[in-house]
């Protein structure tokens, strides 16, 4: 049965009209689902019995099955089991500006980035919008507080699941839904050009993050197979058009790998690539895993890389680290579960 949490507001309005009811039922339903957060249709006391019976017939309200929580200072990692027994994960990060969740968009990932635990286990399927929404609701329930920021940077490539990701944004951004502001939503992509071109035409002021991880095509193609399809020479003109169309600043994610992409020459080449672009670099210390041979850059190397970019007048931050005592790498908790099977 279809989950009600995957229904956009407009889709629900159409649903009620098609069943001979009024559009305002969608407002009532969204308020119960996302503001009062009831767990059954029978609790929706301002709906007629016939409407409740119809909803119970056509939709489920089942939550995701939460298998495991790992907790550390200012971070929790959640492992969920889906209806088909597949597994995904989400990460809650507590910041001084609010509570942020990093959610999965696919079961596995087909992008095959060589340093990524998520990509080691290939894509099984896309998540539907309800499975993404329910990650947020489940974590909110555990936390007992509102999630204020959502990052699509967990397992999967969001733009390889474009339509469902757009539905998710519509649901969580709607003022009767979770009412999470566009500028508090970030979508990360490794650079699927046609989807970036489509995304820039949407009315949402959502943040876009580009998984870059290398300053030139040769190295990036070694690390990220997607670069052979959409090389930097094709990607960057589209990114410049995105900035011009949306007036939004881009984030460039750059995982530092020891002896691979963390040299002073790489830093200088990255500065040259990004010069004049409205964006900033988020340097990410690598989370090592048992399955992959890549190593984390040394602290002094990270600092040196940062200093070179600053000297070159490139906006740059070093990502605050979370979860040193838990399965911190994206996909690592799911990977452990698959290893047990």
Among 326, 254, 263, CA closest to 285: 254
Whether residue 195 is found in the same domain as residue 46: no
How many domains does the chain contain in total?
Answer: 2
Q: Are residues 149 and 254 in the same domain?
A: yes
pLDDT in tens, 180-207: 999 999 999 999 999 999 999 999 999 9
Q: What is the pLDDT of residue 336?
A: 52
- How far apart CA 89 and CA 330 sit, in angstroms, is 8
Annotated catalytic residue, options 70, 89, 131, 157: 89
308: which 2 tokens?
């070179």
Alpha helices (H) in 144-263, listed in sequence order: 162-173, 193-199, 217-223, 226-229, 232-246
The pLDDT of residue 340 is 53
Q: Residue 323: is its pLDDT beyond 70?
A: no
Can you tell me the mean pLDDT for 11-17?
A: 98
**Distance (Å, whole) CA 17 – CA 250:** 40
Q: Are residues 55 and 76 in the same domain?
A: no
Q: Are residues 44 and 176 in the same domain?
A: no
How many whole angstroms separate alpha carbon 326 and alpha carbon 68? 12
> Which spans in the chain are helix H?
9-18, 24-30, 49-58, 117-120, 129-143, 162-173, 193-199, 217-223, 226-229, 232-246, 264-274, 299-311, 332-340
Residues 117 and 34 in one domain: no
Model confidence, pTM? 0.93
Kindly state whether residues 33 and 156 are assigned to the same domain: no
Asked whether residue 35 is assigned to any structural domain, the reply reads: yes
The two tokens of residue 288 are 């090592």
Q: Within a 10 A sphere around the Cβ of 189, how many other Cβ atoms?
A: 24
Question: pLDDT tier at 306 (50, 70, 90 boundaries)?
Answer: very high
d(CA 191, CA 211): 7
Boundary of a domain, candidates 40, 60, 80: 60
φ, ψ dihedrals at 243, nearest 5°? -60, -45
Q: Is the pLDDT of residue 327 over 70?
A: no
User: What range does the domain containing 296 cover?
Assistant: 72-340
Q: Is the pLDDT reported for residue 100 higher than 80? A: yes
Residue of 102, 109, 190, 330 marked active site: 330
Which CATH number does the domain housing residue 54 bear? Answer: 1.10.150.530
pLDDT at 226: 97
Give the domain CATH number at 220. 3.20.20.70
Note if 56 is an active site residue: no
Q: Is 288 found in the same domain as 144? A: yes
Please indicate whether residue 330 is annotated as part of the active site.
Answer: yes
DSSP state of 296: B
- CA 63 vs CA 48, 79, 135, 183, 216: distances in Å: 24, 13, 9, 27, 44
Residue 126 included in any domain: yes
Q: Are residues 48 and 90 in the same domain?
A: no
In a domain, 65, yes or no: no
Residue 88: strand pairing partners: 80
119 falls in which pLDDT band (50, 70, 90)? low
Same domain, 282 and 316: yes
Q: What is the pLDDT of residue 208?
A: 98
Residue 204, helix vs strand vs coil: coil
Domain stop point among 39, 60, 81: 60
Q: Are residues 238 and 192 in the same domain?
A: yes
* Judgement on whether residues 50 and 97 belong to the same structural domain of the protein: no
Question: If you average pLDDT over residues 268-289, what whole number do you get?
Answer: 95
pLDDT in tens, 18-77: 999 999 999 999 999 999 999 999 999 999 999 999 999 999 999 999 999 999 989 999
Residue 79 lies in a domain: yes
- Answer whether 248's CB lies under 8 Å from 240's CB: no
Indicate whether 121 pLDDT > 90: no
Cα 74 from Cα 63, distance rounded (Å): 24
State which of 14, 40, 60 marks the end of a domain: 60
Residues 26 and 79 placed together within one structural domain of the fold? no
In the prediction, which pLDDT does 312 show?
A: 97
Paired with 16 in beta bridges are none
State the pLDDT at residue 339: 46
- Helix/strand/coil for 208: strand
- The answer to whether residue 66 is domain-embedded is no
Does residue 202 fall inside a structural domain? yes
Average pLDDT, the chain: 93
Whether pLDDT at 151 is above 90:
yes
In this predicted structure, what is the pLDDT of residue 117?
79
Q: Scan for tokens 């566009």, then name that residue.
A: 182
């Amino acid at each position: 049965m279809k989950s009600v949490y995957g229904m956009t507001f407009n889709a629900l309005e159409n649903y009620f009209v098609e069943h001979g009811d009024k559009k305002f039922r969608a407002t009532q339903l969204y308020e119960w689902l996302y503001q009062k957060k009831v767990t059954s249709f029978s609790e929706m006391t301002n709906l007629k019995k016939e409407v409740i019976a119809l909803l119970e017939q056509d939709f489920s309200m089942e939550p995701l099955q939460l298998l495991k929580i790992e907790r550390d200072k200012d971070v929790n990692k959640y492992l969920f089991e889906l209806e088909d027994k597949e597994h995904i994960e989400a990460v809650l990060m507590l910041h001084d500006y609010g509570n942020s969740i990093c959610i999965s968009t696919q079961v596995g990932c087909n992008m095959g980035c060589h340093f990524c635990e998520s990509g080691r286990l290939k894509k099984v399927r896309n998540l539907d919008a309800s499975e993404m929404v329910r990650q947020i609701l489940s974590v909110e329930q555990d936390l007992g507080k509102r999630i204020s920021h959502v990052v699509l940077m967990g397992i999967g490539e969001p733009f390889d699941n474009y339509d469902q990701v757009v539905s998710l944004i519509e649901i969580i951004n709607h003022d009767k839904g979770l009412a999470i502001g566009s500028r508090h939503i970030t979508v990360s992509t490794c650079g699927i050009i046609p989807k970036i071109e489509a995304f820039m035409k949407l009315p949402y002021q959502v943040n876009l993050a580009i998984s870059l991880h290398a300053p030139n095509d040769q190295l990036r193609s070694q690390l990220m197979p997607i670069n052979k399809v959409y090389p930097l020479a094709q990607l960057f003109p589209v990114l410049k058009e995105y900035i011009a169309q949306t007036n939004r600043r881009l984030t460039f994610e750059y995982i530092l790998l020891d002896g691979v992409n963390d040299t002073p020459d790489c830093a200088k080449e990255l500065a040259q690539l990004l010069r004049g672009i409205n964006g900033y670099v988020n340097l990410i210390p690598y989370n090592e895993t048992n399955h992959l041979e890549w190593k984390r850059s040394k602290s002094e190397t990270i600092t040196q890389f940062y200093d070179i970019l600053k000297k070159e007048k490139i906006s740059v931050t070093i990502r605050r680290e979370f979860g040193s005592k838990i399965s911190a790498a994206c996909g690592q908790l799911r990977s452990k579960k698959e290893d047990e099977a």
